Amino acid sequence: MTLIRIDDPGDPRIAGFRDIRERDLTGRQGLFVAEGEVVLNVLTSPQSLSRPVAILLDQKRVEGLGGVLARVAADTPVYAAPQAVLDSIAGFHLHRGILALGEKPAERDLEDCLAPLGPDAVVVAACGIGNHDNIGGVFRNAAAFGAGAVLLDDRCCDPFYRKAIRVSVGAVLRTPMATGLEAGEMVERLKAAGFTVMALTPGARHPLEAAPRGGRVAILLGPEGPGLSEALIARCQPVGIRMSGGFDSLNVSVASGIALHHFTRGA
């Protein structure tokens, strides 16, 4: 690894890191920004489905990241800058002092994601979830409970948005996924692949804890507020998480964790 010193925020070599928040909104043409040590560790790990194309660090962080940086390909530039220069590049105070530009993995078809999965696989299918915190939380839960894939319909937000990656603690970078799917078609293709599609909805008559485990299961999640459409629920087996104290629903990320625990852990 060759460390490249950066003293000028206008240096063209670090143009991809400049004005991060503005670029978050306009996109990066197949690239994404990873932020923080935990996410960088995942990005450079053998489990990552993505690869770093450049790294930018507070010069004070370099020594402590020696083990992580040792996994980076020799031709990947690693830049180091004083904190003030780093903040000027990013456009805000970057207290973690760690950024990386990564390359998104090649897009995968739904069947390509499902083909390697076994007879008792559990996957997550999300419809219309536009909140990046929730998407990140869903990916974190999926990785923690061993879901085989996360499938997103065409109304979900980008899981490679910087905040979604950070909330997922890097799980977005290592989880097989298919995106841009039409929700109804996604459900039918899951059923054709042998999955029982469990629609998580507060209005369900059947409680989640009574749902049988085993076999291929897809957990269908909708956005907070409107939830899943009645037409979509009708194509699935609806299940609900029983509430107390007058509450009728949970944050979708929390609900996904409860459902994943149920279907991936034995009684």
What is the residue-level pLDDT of the chain in tens, covering all 267 positions? Answer: 779 999 999 999 999 998 887 666 556 678 999 999 999 999 999 999 999 999 999 999 999 999 999 999 999 999 999 999 999 999 888 888 999 999 999 999 999 999 999 999 999 999 999 999 999 999 999 999 999 999 999 999 999 999 999 999 999 999 999 999 999 999 999 999 999 999 999 888 999 999 999 999 999 999 988 889 999 999 999 999 998 877 777 899 999 999 999 999 864
Please name the residues in contact with 129: beta carbons below 8 A apart, sequence gap of 6 or more. Answer: 135, 138, 152, 156, 157, 221, 222, 223, 252
Same domain, 29 and 135: no
Which of 48, 71, 103 lies at the terminal end of a domain, its last residue? 103
Domain tally, the chain = 2
Same domain, 227 and 121: yes
Same domain, 67 and 146: no
Same domain, 90 and 168: no
Same domain, 92 and 150: no
Which of 52, 78, 103 lies at the terminal end of a domain, its last residue? 103
Q: CA-CA-CA-CA torsion for 92, 94, 98, 101, nearest 10 degrees?
A: -20
Same domain, 202 and 254: yes
Give the full edge-to-edge strand order of the sheet including 150-153. 177-181, 150-153, 122-126, 217-221, 196-200, 237-239
Give the strand pairing for 177-181 and 237-239. Answer: unpaired
Same domain, 99 and 121: no
Same domain, 131 and 240: yes
Q: Which residue has the tokens 């599609």?
A: 197
pLDDT score for 220: 98
For 11-28, letters b (16+ CB in 10 Å) and e give: beebebbbebeebbeeeb
Same domain, 129 and 45: no
Same domain, 185 and 120: yes
Same domain, 120 and 90: no
Give the residue among 41, 39, 32, 81 at the shortest CA–CA distance from 57: 81
Which of 103, 134, 169 lies at the terminal end of a domain, its last residue? 103
Half-sphere exposure of 170 (CA within 13 A, CB side): 22
Same domain, 93 and 121: no
Give the residue among 205, 209, 185 at the shortest CA–CA distance from 197: 185
Stated pTM of the model: 0.93
pLDDT score for 250: 87
Enclosing domain of residue 212? 110-264
Q: Residue 82's domain is classified under what CATH number?
A: 3.30.1330.30
